[in-house]
Amino acid sequence: MSKSNKSKVSVDIIIPTYRPDDQFYKSLEMLLNQTVKTIDKVDETDNEYLNKIFIMNTEEKFFDKKKFQKISKGSKCVEVRHITKAEFDHGGTRNFAASLSRADIIMFMTQDAVPENERLIEELIQPLKEKKVAASYGRQLPNGQAGEIERYTREFNYPSKSIRKSKKDIDVLGIKTYFCSNVCCAYKRDVYMKLGGFVTQTIFNEDMIFASKIIQNDYTVAYAADARVIHSHKYTYREQFTRNFDLGVSQRQYREIFENIKSESEGIDLVIKTEQHLIKKGKFYLIPDLVMQSGFKFLGYRAGLQYEKLSDKTVRRFSMNKTYWDKCKKK
């Protein structure tokens, strides 16, 4: 935390957006009405305050200014920056926004993550009061349209119990030691800057790559189960393939991080436990869907690990983030 202001802790939120919809505006409205008050509402009794919400919007023509003004109500807390699609980068765009921040804590969210209640910021930053904790990520709950498989996957990846993860957990947790999600995550800004922020020119996974750096530098990553957002997706089989292809690409490109840590066994464990859950619930008819989803995920992931052997045309066809390949040659 900053030494210059011991009485109050400041928080900045960074949200990259592209074609923001009603979920984003609902999220923005809730962020402006948290127990951690905005800078224009804070008083002397408050220990934390929300200083800025930086919205890094890709393509200004898709941004609904009237709806934004209706929700933000002219708050000086909210700042919108427009960039082009070619300028967007998962790590680089977030790093640029972080460079604008002067807060003690920088918090990242995605446009489709909606706070479950008004205590999200309060609960998320609580672990950062501990000296060794450098990052804290929240719990993701399924939305009302999520199916049984997606609901169980969320419960598997984001359980109800909070934990702390450090270097000593690698042998037991494997790759889950580095698991961290910028869907809803807060970082001590001084540590973030000290460690160089997110990698740039990355197709995916900038959060886990940075979490590995946090862990390897003897800090701790916290999972704050009481900091809850509504966030889930219903991916098609093709989308499962392309998303996991990009995951495989990122792990291949940063092989020095991922090659010597157990990974695929975690995916197998999820499939087995999901199948057991479906049987227990009497939903046997969903098992073929589970098999198909898992198969497309595995094939996409394995193809991503071998992306260097594929043609440029095939790589683009297999990738979810196709614009990445316009800026980056295979390395």
The answer to whether position 309 is within a domain reads yes
Q: Cβ distance 37 to 46 under 8 Å?
A: yes
Q: Which of 181, 196, 230 is the last residue of a domain?
A: 230
* pLDDT by residue, tens only, the chain of 331 residues: 444 445 799 999 999 999 999 999 999 999 999 999 999 899 989 999 999 999 999 999 999 999 999 999 988 899 999 999 888 888 999 999 999 999 999 999 999 999 999 999 999 999 999 999 999 999 999 998 899 999 999 999 999 999 999 999 999 998 999 999 999 999 999 999 999 999 987 888 999 999 999 999 999 999 999 999 999 888 999 999 999 999 999 999 999 998 878 776 778 899 999 999 999 999 999 999 999 999 999 999 999 999 999 999 999 999 998 888 887 754 4
Tell me: do 243 and 133 sit in the same domain.
Answer: no
The DSSP element (H or E) to which 306 belongs, if any, is none
- 156/272 same-domain check: no
Does residue 1 form part of some domain?
no
Distance, CA of 45 to chain centre: 32
Tell how strand 9-18 and strand 105-109 pair up: parallel
Q: 73 and 97, same structural domain? A: yes
Of 230, 245, 262, the one marking the end of a domain is 230
> What pLDDT, on the 0 to 100 scale, is given for residue 329?
56
For residue 331, being part of any structural domain is answered with no
Is 246 found in the same domain as 207? no
Give the DSSP H or E segment for 181: none
Output the pLDDT for position 253. Answer: 93
Residues 23 and 158 in one domain: yes
How many domains would you assign to the chain? 2
- 156 and 16 in a common domain: yes
Same domain, 292 and 213: no
Residue 226, Cβ density class (10 Å: 0-12 exposed, 13-18 middle, ≥19 buried) = middle
Domain end among 210, 230, 250:
230
- Contact between 201 and 328 under an 8 Å Cβ cutoff? The reply is yes
Residues 42 and 172 in one domain: yes
Q: Is there a single domain that holds both residue 241 and residue 259?
A: yes
**Dist CA 108 CA 239 (whole Å):** 24
Pair (128, 271) in one structural domain? no
**pLDDT at residue 3 in the model:** 43
Note down the domain range covering 316: 237-324
Non-local (6+) Cβ contacts of 258 within 8 A are 175, 251
How far is 328 from 61, CA to CA, in rounded Å?
A: 26
Amino acid identity, position 252: R
pTM: 0.93
Whether residue 36 sits in one domain with residue 177: yes
* Integer Cα distance of 196 and 151 in angstroms: 35
The reported pLDDT for the residue numbered 7 is: 72
Predicted local distance difference test score (pLDDT) of residue 326: 82
Residues 26 and 57 in one domain: yes
Could you list the beta-strand ranges (E) of the chain: 9-18, 48-58, 78-83, 105-109, 114-115, 133-141, 163-165, 184-188, 220-230
